[in-house]
Amino acid sequence: MSAPQVVMSLLLAAADPVAENRDLDAALQSLSEADFEAALAHVETGLRQARDEAHVAQLRLVQGEVYAALRQYAKMETAFARALEANPDARLDPERVQPNVVARLESLRGSLQGTLSVDVDPAGAEVRLDGRALGPAPWRGPVPIGTHTLEVGPNLTPFQVKVRPSQTEQVRVVLPAAPATRSFFSSLALSAQLRAAFGLSPTSGAGLEAGARLSGTYVFGELNATAGSRFGAAARLGAQAPRLLGPVTLSLSLDGYALGGPALFGGGLSAGASLPLSTKFDVFAELSGRWLPSSPDYQSTHLLGVTGLRFTPGGQAGR
């Protein structure tokens, strides 16, 4: 067998869980037979060979059980303390071990603390440990030993941290960058529109409108000039909903009207929907209700149907 093969065989043997557990099983067997000297010997042999911290902790627990059986309680606590240093989650089997010995281990566990240090980028995020709020990050302080659930910031997946006796567990968390929020003014888009109005007045029944629209993400304002049986102007301030119905955008606005010959001023309410044809063009339809002072040739209340084409030079970035 070549030298590399020999080295590989030794490494595989060292990693063999059966070989690792042999001394532990032998120590437990000797303990059950009240052969305490042999049990301690098997523990010492196992500790010299053990590489895994959980395995070291199990051997130390058996060592503590032996000292408890011998009523050497100071040595028992030392063995238990070393077990918790190797694995702060180490526990005795209550179905096999005397309750008073289990209680000694748990009492020792409760008296031991470690330090948790949480650094968060950016600072200021809330830190929670096992569901309990600790405060904003960065945070540093004593905590009980063992495995804990750490939460940092909102909507992040909790993760586990293991705190060891008299040691500092350092955690650094980099939070994802918050999505950039656009101000209302940075998201405005100017549009030009041509509109055909039906029911403009009782005598003409139809008219044409042209105007401009300044639109943000959820609000918009419009100024439109009207040509029909009489000249007029309309100013509108409205809100548009997110696209809940596929590509269709719904809108609702409060309107102000001014009509000439003689001058009439009034208000109204409009509801509409628009459908994009491309990134720059969309077609829309609206139904408006107008309230105006009584006039011989214009009713005080009137319904107006409007349809048209809107052109946004920069595309629909504001939607």
Taking all residues of the chain, what is their mean pLDDT, rounded to a whole number?
83
Q: Give 164's contacts (C-beta < 8 A, 6+ positions apart).
A: 84, 85, 88, 114, 145
The backbone region for 124, taken as left when phi is positive above 0, alpha when psi lies in -120 to 50, beta otherwise, is: left
Measured from the Cβ of residue 157, the count of other Cβ atoms closer than 10 Å reads 5
- Whether 114 has a pLDDT exceeding 60, the answer reads yes
Neighbours of 91 (CB within 10 A): 15
- The string of pLDDT tens digits covering residues 129-185 is 999 999 999 999 999 999 999 999 877 779 999 999 999 999 999 888 766 555 444
What is residue 52's predicted lDDT score, i.e. its pLDDT?
Answer: 87
The pLDDT tens digits for 69-84 are 999 999 999 999 999 9
* pLDDT exceeds cutoff 90 at 88: yes
CA distance 91 to 238: 66
Report the CATH fold assignment for 3-111. Answer: 1.25.40
Of 231, 211, 240, the residue nearest 310 (C-alpha): 211
Fold classified for 185-311: Porin (2.40.160)
Domains of the chain by residue range: 3-111, 113-174, 185-311
Q: Region 193-198: what's the mean pLDDT?
A: 86
Say how many C-beta atoms besides its own lie within 10 A of residue 121's C-beta: 11
Q: What is the pLDDT of residues 246-259, one digit of tens each?
A: 788 899 999 988 87
Report, as an integer, the average pLDDT of 95-103. Answer: 92
Q: What is the pLDDT of residue 316?
A: 55
pLDDT more than 90, % of the chain: 44
Matching CATH topology for 3-111 and 113-174?
no
- Architecture of the domain delimited by 113-174: Sandwich (2.60)
Residue 149: its pLDDT value, please?
95
